[in-house]
Structure formats: C-alpha cells, structure tokens
Amino acid sequence: MDELETIRARKLEELVNTMEAPTVTLEKKMPAAPIEINDDNFMSAVKDHDLMIVDCWAPWCGPCRMLSPVIEELAKTYSGRVVFGKLNTDNNRRVAAQFGIMSIPTLLLFKKGRHVDTIIGAVPKRVIEDAIRKYI
C-alpha cells in the first residue's frame, strides 16, 4: 500500500509541475519591444504576425533616432496586437531595395504578411496610431 501511495504522490507532483510549466503565450509571440529584422528573417517575421510594423532606419539618421523612442513606446502600448520590428537599412539592403526605400525613417505596415501601408519620415505618434487603428 505504501508503494502505491508513493507512486500516486509522484504522479500527482508530475501533473502539477506540467500544469505550472511556462507555456508560450501570445505575449511571448507578440513581444512588447521591437524585434530585430534582417534580410534573412524578414519574410518569416511579417508572415508570422497578423499586424507588423517594420521601422526602416540607420544608426547615423537623426530623425530615425528621434522616432525610436516612439516606436518602443508604441510596441509596449500595442503589445499583443501589433509587433514592431527594426530593420537597419545599411546592413539589410535587399529588403530596402525590395520596397524602394529612398528615405528613412520609413515604416512598412504588414497585415497578414501583405504590405498594406507605408509611412515616410519622423511623423508624430498619433499618425502611426491612426494607421494602426485602421488595420487592427
């Protein structure tokens, strides 16, 4: 009888541990901070998320640096609904050429893997939010 109780207790503990094990949640799949996008992961990134905004930028670009905190704030605000990515156009010329990016910052909006909108320049936060609301 003691052996049966030991087995039962062990199985109960295993069951409890599996229930408490971390699971992949929407929050993990849709991060609260911009993710790094490059030529290699670009297509899978935009296809993996229902709504994604890719910030095309470069380290030397002043307006890009001004927009960066806005993008980070929006990533937190819209976490779970919108994924933000950052694409350094100096290091990832293939994607920049594919979308004809001639000015930075440029925001590319994708809905279900399809390019639906482009915002060029260091625009106010409300302009980006208006675009987000259009596609949510």
Provide the pLDDT for residue 4.
76
pLDDT digits (tens, 9 = 90+) for 55-110: 999 999 999 999 999 999 999 999 999 999 999 999 999 999 999 999 999 999 99
The whole-angstrom separation of Cα 105 and Cα 68 is 9
pLDDT digits (tens, 9 = 90+) for 14-59: 776 665 544 433 344 678 899 999 999 999 999 999 999 999 999 9
Which residues are identified as catalytic?
61, 64
Tokens of 62: 């002043």
Hey, what domains does the chain have and what are their CATH numbers? 25-135 (3.40.30.10)
The H or E element containing residue 126 is helix 125-135
What is the DSSP secondary structure assignment for residue 95, as one 8-state letter?
H
pTM of the complete model beyond 0.85: no
Is residue 11 over pLDDT 80? Answer: no
CA torsion through residues 45, 51, 57, 59, sign: negative
Enumerate the β-bridge partners of residue 37: 87
